[in-house]
Amino acid sequence: MKVPQLLLILRAHSARGLSLPSYILETLAYAITLAYSFRNAFPFSTYGENLFLTLQNAIITLLILYYRPSLSSSRQSNKTSQLLTASFITFASGLALYLVPSDALSLLQLSTLPLSLFSKLPQITQNHRAQSTGQLSAFAVFSQIAGCLARLFTTATEVGDILVTAGFALALLLNCVLGAQLWMYWGKDARETNGQIPVSQKEKSTWPKEREASVEVSVPPQTPPARYASPAPSGRKWARKID
């Protein structure tokens, strides 16, 4: 489900428009469900999807950190340290979920529903603030809408739990908001910036004063003046006849 989003980031060499808090919360919810299902020896078919979603979300989160714009001179060293720190935190979180007591893990499992729901809010807010969806994958969003519809139908018909049904209904609503934003802002960047990457006001506030005050002026190349050919001599030519 997240492979198109992953390929889109790698192809564009940019994670612009993707919310880092949104992916952190979503990855945490997937990881808790994965650890809870594995620790309780559930059939792999019931949580196998969460395994791949957790891995893909973790990679996307690292890519968001890697492609985050930076104005410092030591950009590459900062990115390397951020990636190493994020990788260590990811590994430590996975190890903690594996070693945490079962009672505490059960309480964490109860928090996965609000985590999944609130993970959509930062992305929706960022899209609305930037009036753009950036590198957000339409395939991933509409796949989540289809998945929520399927889970909502099976939960309502087979389980009948009002709380679980309400959770899936709210998740469907938030995913539909993301789908509506994709439709509203589709192609807006290309029309407004003519191929240039738009810069938000928040990013402009971090610019130094020299960069903010500078004005780029493009001067078209001057064409050399046209060379005019000398006029051909007019009139009759007289020649002297030699006897």
- CB distance 34 to 51 below 8 Å: yes
Q: What is the pLDDT of residue 232?
A: 55
Reported as a single tens digit per residue, the pLDDT across 178-226 is 999 999 988 765 554 444 544 545 455 555 554 545 545 555 556 555 5
Would you state the pLDDT for residue 197?
46
Domain assignment present for residue 212? The answer is no
Residue appearing with tokens 């004063």: 209
Q: Which two tokens stand for residue 163?
A: 């709380």
Rounded mean pLDDT, 43-66: 87
Residue 88 falls inside a structural domain? yes
* DSSP-derived secondary structure letter, 155: I
- Tell me whether residue 227 is in a domain: no
In a domain, 49, yes or no: yes
The three-state secondary structure class of 141 is: helix
The pLDDT score that the predictor gives to residue 148 is 80
Range of the domain at 67: 3-191
Tokens of 198: 């738009």
- Look at residue 61 in the predicted model and tell me its pLDDT: 92
Three-state secondary structure call for residue 40: coil
CA separation for the pair 90, 81 (Å, rounded)? 14
Residue 17's nearest CA partner among 171, 152, 134 is 134
Q: Predicted confidence band at 243 (pLDDT cuts at 50, 70, 90)? A: very low
Q: Which two tokens mark 204? A: 């402009």
Structural domain includes residue 33: yes
Residue 53 CB neighbour total at 10 angstroms: 20
Closest CA to 34 of 116, 102, 94: 94
pLDDT digits (tens, 9 = 90+) for 144-174: 888 888 877 876 777 666 766 777 788 888 8
* Number of domains making up the chain: 1
Q: Which of 29, 27, 11 is nearest to 19 (CA)?
A: 27
More confident residue, 51 or 197: 51
The pLDDT assigned to 75 comes to 59
Distance CA 122, CA 64 (A): 14
Q: Is the pLDDT of residue 130 over 90?
A: no
> Nearest-5° angle of CA 177, CA 134, CA 78?
125
CB atoms within 10 A of CB 57: 23
- Identify the residue with better confidence: 5 or 220: 5
> Could you read off the pLDDT of 68-126 as tens digits, one per residue?
876 555 556 677 888 888 889 989 988 998 899 988 988 888 888 888 888 889 999 99
CA atoms of 206 and 188, how far apart (whole Å) = 24
pTM for the whole thing? 0.68
Instruction: Give a yes or no: residue 74 inside a domain.
Output: yes
Report the distance separating Cα 127 and Cα 202, nearest Å. Answer: 13
**Does residue 65 belong to any structural domain of this protein?**
yes
| Residue 66 located in a structural domain | yes
* Predicted pLDDT at 176: 92
C-alpha span between 123 and 193 (Å, rounded) = 22
- Distance, in Å, from the CA atom of 221 to the CA atom of 65, rounded to the nearest integer, reads 40
Q: How far is CA 11 from CA 15, 18, 56, 100, 123, in A?
A: 10, 15, 16, 38, 21
Q: Which two tokens stand for residue 80?
A: 């390397």
Average pLDDT over residues 27-54: 85
